Amino acid sequence: MAVLLDGAAVKVYSEPKGRCIKCGRPARVRLLYARAWLCDEHFLEYLREKVARGLTRYDMIRRGDKVIVAVSGGKDSMTLMDVLSGLSTRLGIELIAVHINLGIGDFSQQSLSAFREACKRYQGVKCLELDLKELTGFYLPDLLKAVRRPACSVCGLVRRYILNALAVELGASEVATGHHMNDIMAYAVKNFLGQNLEQIPKLGPVVEGEESAVRRIRPLFDVYEDETRAYAIIGGVPYTSAVCPFKPRDSMEDVIKRMLETIERRSPSLLISSARKMAESLESYPRSERPMGRCKYCGMPTSREVCSFCSLTQAIAGRPLGPEVRSKIRDIAAKLALMR
């Protein structure tokens, strides 16, 4: 029988092979880490409820919150958008899905189409497209030509700045990203190996707002990557599998992720218990002591005189772009408020 997903934590067969523990009907989803079979319908429900429990367990959101969901168009953030849109009424939260067009050729085209498709599907979610070139005058490949820094670090910095600035203007309570447990734990192991222990608290389910203007939350903190993939396949979630051409091949994170999969296959559920223990012991890790202030150009929080976005753009454009970007985002936020 064909196997649609042959993961360390979840397997999905093309046809039923077991009985659903909820309803007894034929089931094709095997949760290896929970030693359970689920039918398609009950798997989708299981994952939604698992995320809902995580939101409560880690105190990620409160009734009345305005939550920005950062959506890349890939399976993880699209699954997140699907799950949160299904829970939003019950949880009493307002969702604003935001996609940033980074202008990375075909990859960005496909990401944008997937996002647009999702916006048609989830009618209750407000959708917002931001264009990096309209905001800064540059797309990501132009930025990368001008600085000698790893692509993912420039991209992450730019995206974080834009999402933070938007959250400030919209008065959003938090920014939710689609990071899942496998990625988070791979970063944690990498930071452990380098003994950058003060980075580990930043990998928790919630990062409080002093560092980034608003709270950052990771609702998929205790969700296996296999689960997001299975959810996207079974739930028919629109997403793109396009891979960013700037993503380094065989990065240290990739190697560590594969190692963690091997460990999970040997000892099912080890990764989830480790992630949950880490979430409970974040207080015991050292934290960087640098006091937070405001960027002298754009006013966004930073531990230096000039924020990393303003210093990056100063090197590229000859002037810090923070103030211009913030004012454009202010206009966009005002228009979005009028659309209500």
Per partner kind, with CB cut-offs from 5 to 8 A, the member of Zn ion, ligand AMP, none near residue 219 is none
The site that binds Zn ion (CB under 5 A) totals a number of residues, namely 11
Strand, coil or helix: what is 70? Answer: strand
Residues within window 163-182 making contact with ligand AMP, judged by CB under 6 A: 177-179
Task: Report the distance separating Cα 192 and Cα 157, nearest Å.
Answer: 22
Q: How far is the CB of 326 from ligand AMP (least distance, A)?
A: 18
Query: What x-and-dash track marks residues 310-329 binding ligand AMP by CB under 6 A?
Result: --------------------
- Structure tokens of 331? 């206009």
Is the distance from CB of 212 to CB of 308 less than 8 angstroms?
A: no
Sites for ligand AMP among residues 138-157 (CB under 6 A): 156
Q: Minimum distance from CB of 78 to ligand AMP (Å)? A: 9
- Exposure on the CB side of residue 117, measured as CA atoms within 13 A: 15
55 contact choice in Zn ion, ligand AMP, none (CB below 5 to 8 Å, kind-dependent):
none
Span 101-130, contacts to ligand AMP by CB under 6 A: 102
C-alpha separations of 182 from 224, 226, 251, 289 in Å: 6, 9, 15, 28
Shortest separation between residue 99's beta carbon and ligand AMP, angstroms = 5
Strands 36-38 and 29-31: antiparallel
Q: Which stretch binds Zn ion (CB under 5 A): 14-22, 51-59, 145-153, 170-178?
A: 14-22
Tokens matching residue 323: 């103030």
C-alpha distance from residue 316 to each of 119, 149, 150, 284 (Å) = 34, 12, 15, 39
Query: Who's near 316: CB < 8 A, 6+ residues apart?
Result: 138, 143, 146, 147
What does the per-residue mask of binding to ligand AMP show for 52-81, with x meaning CB under 6 A? ------------------xxx---xx----
Give min distance, CB of 281 to Zn ion, in A. Answer: 34
| Residue 179 touches Zn ion, criterion: CB under 5 A | no
Residues that bind Zn ion (CB under 5 A): 20, 22-23, 39, 42, 295, 297-298, 307, 310, 322
